[in-house]
Amino acid sequence: MQQSEFKIIITQYKDLNELPENDRQLIMAAREIAFSAYAPYSGFKVGAALRMSDGRIITGNNQENASSPVGCCAERTALYWANANFPEKPVLALAITAIDRAGNLAAHLSPCGTCRQALLETEIRFNQPIRVLLDSRNQIDVLNNVKSLLPLSFNGECVI
């Protein structure tokens, strides 16, 4: 019998100003696009911003539907647009944020399992770790890659 431990490193910032300029820009882009999310059912408006290898920023937000499974999260809206239009460009970083029903930054936010799997595909496809910035009301959590958000993930093989 053997036990293994999986360690996730999360760097936490209390203040946006502690982050490097390009991270701050990405978070501000996510906050801006969150306002134009289509979220009449949940009232939870999510914004995602991707920094591509050429410095370009691509944004997306959640798009809901009366038939709820048809809707799409902000992360995949941005990611699939990026991969469709720039199939040769790796994604270097992702920022996500959300505005709650009261119009405040959401207290907590982390990508859903489906988005983690979708993001992991891009990380593996380009062999390029995607820095993940989770922007919430009281802090910003930074992870070095998507893989750490999805231990024991499915990739045809196990990619711990």
Of 58, 52, 44, 60, which Cα lies nearest the Cα of 109?
44
Q: Where are the beta strands (DSSP E) in the chain?
A: 10-13, 45-52, 57-61, 91-99, 131-135, 140-143
Q: Is 75 a catalytic residue?
A: yes
Rank residues 4 and 138 by Cβ distance to ligand THU and give the closer one.
Answer: 138
Catalytic residue among 75, 88, 121, 123: 75
What does each C-alpha distance from 55 to 42, 91, 97 come to in angstroms? 32, 10, 20
Q: Tokens 């469709």 — which residue?
A: 84
Among 13, 24, 44, 117, binds ligand THU (CB under 6 A): 44
Rank residues 111 and 120 by Cβ distance to ligand THU and give the closer one.
Answer: 111
Q: Based on the shown chain and the rule CB under 6 A, indicate whether residue 42 belongs to the binding site for ligand THU.
A: yes
SS3 15: coil
Of 153, 152, 122, 155, which Cα lies nearest the Cα of 48?
122
Q: Total residues at the site for ligand THU (CB under 6 A)?
A: 14
Q: Based on the shown chain and the rule CB under 6 A, indicate whether residue 117 belongs to the binding site for ligand THU.
A: no
Among 19, 39, 92, 132, binds ligand THU (CB under 6 A): 39
What are the residues binding ligand THU (CB under 6 A)?
39, 42, 44, 46, 62, 64, 71, 73-75, 96, 111-112, 115
Q: What are the catalytic residues?
A: 75
